[in-house]
Amino acid sequence: MYELLFDFSRRPEPFSCYTAKALWTRPHLARQMLNFHLDQETDLASRKLETIDRVVSWIDEQLSLSGKHVCDLGCGPGLYTKRFASRGAVVTGVDFSTHSLEHAKSQTKKPIRYIHADYLSDDLPIGFDVLTLIYCDFCVLSSQQRKTLLSRMKEMLNPGGQIVIDVAGMGLFASKEELTIMEDRFMDGFWAAGDYVGIQRSFVYPEERLSLDRYLIVEPTETWQVFNWFQHFTPESIEAELSDAGFKLDQMVGELSGEPLNPKGNYIGIVASLI
């Protein structure tokens, strides 16, 4: 246990350990994450529905979704896919959380195709006019993972196709701080159904514009960890990353509901197309 706690206290190298799937594939956590997605009192996992409605309206105003083939990567419980479909789009959703996809399918009235897949490694469909990756999913990926994903998105798009993403800006990064928290049933039972002790160790990497919330969950019969990395961007850094991957910037806004861009704001919304 000493070696584990000693290692837990130390600052890891950026993206040296990656556990993102645990949040979506451990049964208890998958249920908890779905609840957070649907909870209208918090924006922790998804934006509130009134905000999602504004986001979809803005995207539709910019891209005219009706009749277009749209794929929402990391679609979760289908909060965006069903709204894209209501705008007349032909919609596909991709996610690696079986629990979230089951909920999405149960809520679907219009014909929407849902695919259980990891968009970094599994086979993906092609032939889309628009790809979306919404609420900072891009930020939890390492630099190499982001390059991989952008390359795969290019393969999914039709000629002239566009992507819509949003990323965390420097306003959110400024709010990050290093801290340690230890509590019995930390976060009110979020991490496990039974008894456990949870420890959070947070790190900030100023040069990389990167933060890490590292969690150690100690149950009576199991001890496990989650590394929650989060990359932050300036307008210049995200534009450069997209350009290097073969995309040209069409629009950059403060949020995907159309707010004006603030270089020091919390979010950056992007519409980009194939070069």
Tell me the two tokens of residue 143.
Answer: 């630099």
Query: Tokens representing 141?
Result: 């990926």
The number of helices, as runs of H, and strands, as runs of E, in the chain is 9, 11
Cα 193 from chain centroid? 25
pLDDT, tens digit (0-9, with 9 covering 90-100), for 90-111: 999 999 988 889 989 998 777 9
What are the structural domains, with CATH classification, of the chain?
Answer: 2-17+172-231 (no CATH), 37-170+233-274 (3.40.50.150)
Angle (CA) 228 229 232, round 5°:
135
At 134, which helix (H) or strand (E)? none
In the predicted structure, residue 21 carries a pLDDT above the cut 80: no
Of 102, 113, 97, 117, the C-alpha closest to 45 is 97
From the list 211, 254, 213, 256, the residue with the least C-alpha distance to 232 is 211
Contact 70, 128 (CB under 8 A): yes
Which tens digits make up the pLDDT trace of 160-190?
999 999 999 999 999 999 999 999 999 999 9
